Structure 1
């Protein structure tokens, strides 16, 4: 009887090949997933060395590798020698069990030393047989082990080797194939690790340089010469106090440089005015000064406003529009309320600050600009950075020279001069000749003005608009008529109402009395008025319409009747969708 065995052999051979191909595909897929997970980990790590235990854990979970260790020899950017006599330090992480104390690299690690000196990978299918028991990891129970060790080369200083990455694999049925795949994966991970280390060094250098430049700029501002006029009358900044004089000296000093400036202060302290002063005193004074309020625009509108857009880039983009960065080329760009921009947009802004280039929305052409950036905020950026709301690298870019603008309550001696300046502007705009009685100035000196200079200006304009004579007296001021915004805020806070926006968190501001040379008439004590009813949108709309009808639909007159500025009443009319009648 004849039995044909050829066909079964062919079937077995074909089945084995299919299984081998399937195993190879599965191994390749596992390798790709391993590299992908490690790339994500190293990309997001602040310190790639500290992330190595997690890297080794991924290698153990995905590929079954054990006892990973990283040895770093030197920093190539510091020009150190790669000779192993420099006492390399190492991070070792045992994937199984408890990680050993650091550092854990042994001085007689011949494998690490060979890779350092030769700069080529080293593979051993039986590490104990080739290098002895000293080459085995501590406290191992894995039996026979294979070793894969790859060099970490400095890409910018080839062929310098800055480290060695090694792992062990328990012996398998096909160690040669497994180790060959391990070698490819470990070589890719070594390259990713070198990039992460290089990026960390670059960030550290940039941070050190920015701190050094900030220190130099601050020192230069403190060392202002005595013969420099401390005040800035040509820029519209009013005041003779020591606080405003110190700010003026710093502004004069920093204006001569191209250093980034961050203006910090409460709302109403005049941040835009000081930004214009820096621009006017710089060598860019004859170039554009462009301002943007970041809090007034959504993220998409802010991107279009700053970078511009191409024709047809979105619905309604009927033509090309240049952005503020482009318009400010050669000059100064002032970004107010920088702390309000969203975290996603901060990355785009950081690129412009770092590289000086951007693309318009919907465009592909890269534009380069030369812009001096001045930013301003009333937020605590340090707290925002700590909470992850504001990028740390953007913070270090904009906060090179911080200038703190003093609140008005810290420079009360400037209040009379400021009040006269605002009254002079009112007289010029309205054709009047109003003056202050001395007791009115004394009353103003007794206020703290939580809204700062802006609130003082509002107070002067309101009093001037409602004054019945040519002299503004103490009784003409809003605070003596129970119409002062600050007084209402004090009363609401003392009665445990919800906090009022714009005031310092948790601070209850009380009026204070200051001694002045001229006699001050004390403010009479008044009984607390009944609680002010909360206005609804309907009552506000009715009041606006009633005031406009009384004023003959002239916004400026209606603003005086309501104690508002023309810009405020214009905003209120738009808010309540009130159509302006023409008479």
Structure 2
């Protein structure tokens, strides 16, 4: 406890008190207008309170709403123990005198500290036989953002209320500065959370999660995506429904320099043409019935980032002309408006249609096709990379297992059944099949018996055996060729060796060195 109080004239008159407060206010105003650093500003103001007003050991505490605590932002003291203690001392909202001020939003004036059992004295700074004044620091909306406290250098007298009111005036002057600091700290927290979310998104759409498998065609796609992601070139993703075109679009965006800007998606087939124009270009207030206010379209929302236009082959020739202008000029007009709006957007489009054939039939504009077809990425159907199915199934099953919070496994007989199917719905159908099968599995082991394939029990959609893979394809590497031979041979090594022109000993050596997991069917 500090008993060395500053020597003050005994019992100043009210006129003397007001005159001293007025001079102090002038000094505090100069500090607030000139000192940009928050902590330095607080230190100087608390020094004026201590030296000129007899309000000793002034302390400013700041609320941390996220943690529900009050921490000391500044304190006037020469004692190093107090200076160090301020770094660790915290008060929960509602705890002690300071916490009560925050909770109740009202000042507390004590005639003698020792008479108040709530006073915690964690800093061992104040004279417990002397008065204490604590007032809330409020933001403009009335919320409590901190506390200003000090100890008068004289015992309670008729002017204690005047001193308390003056401390409240100083708290009002500090309000804006404390508010900025609180918001800055909240901004840092939001920034940290945002950066963490970005890391999670980048991990989710990282290249290693985008392409699962070892076939040459998927490695080629992996390389194309990695290369094109670095530039702003327009990308056209071609492939059947369910092959993962949207996943590739996301991977391109989140691995590009535009990753910190929006990725906006629109399924062009989901909206009629009348709504599609407003959705993409936006509209002005009163442009049509129901347009009660101005609205930015997807192009403006994606400014600086990427716009993914799925099912681009479904838009009409009339709308294709409007879209072409935006792609060529980088500018648009909202529906019902005449002001030109410039946008900086990277376009990634996708379709399951054969656009070249659509151009020949006159159903798709040739100039728009070439504007979109700067970098084309064709995603193969699952039946064309069936050698990847075991790895893909394991990847999807691990995702489902995390969602269900349990371990899931596939038996070899189940994998063999999956391999024999043609997968018209591609990867989406495979994922749905695995989720359906996991639901039917009580112990988490997915066997052949719990798998239900579309058309498996339907005579109109019989299971079709897959064609043999050309083992002489130069695009295949050694691992793919061996795996393909094993698949065709039903995972019988001797038969696979004959298909490859090898001896059983040679293929056994290849299986070991290429780290191929043998399946027992």
Taking structure 2 as the reference length, the TM-score comes to 0.49
Taking structure 1 as the reference length, the TM-score comes to 0.44
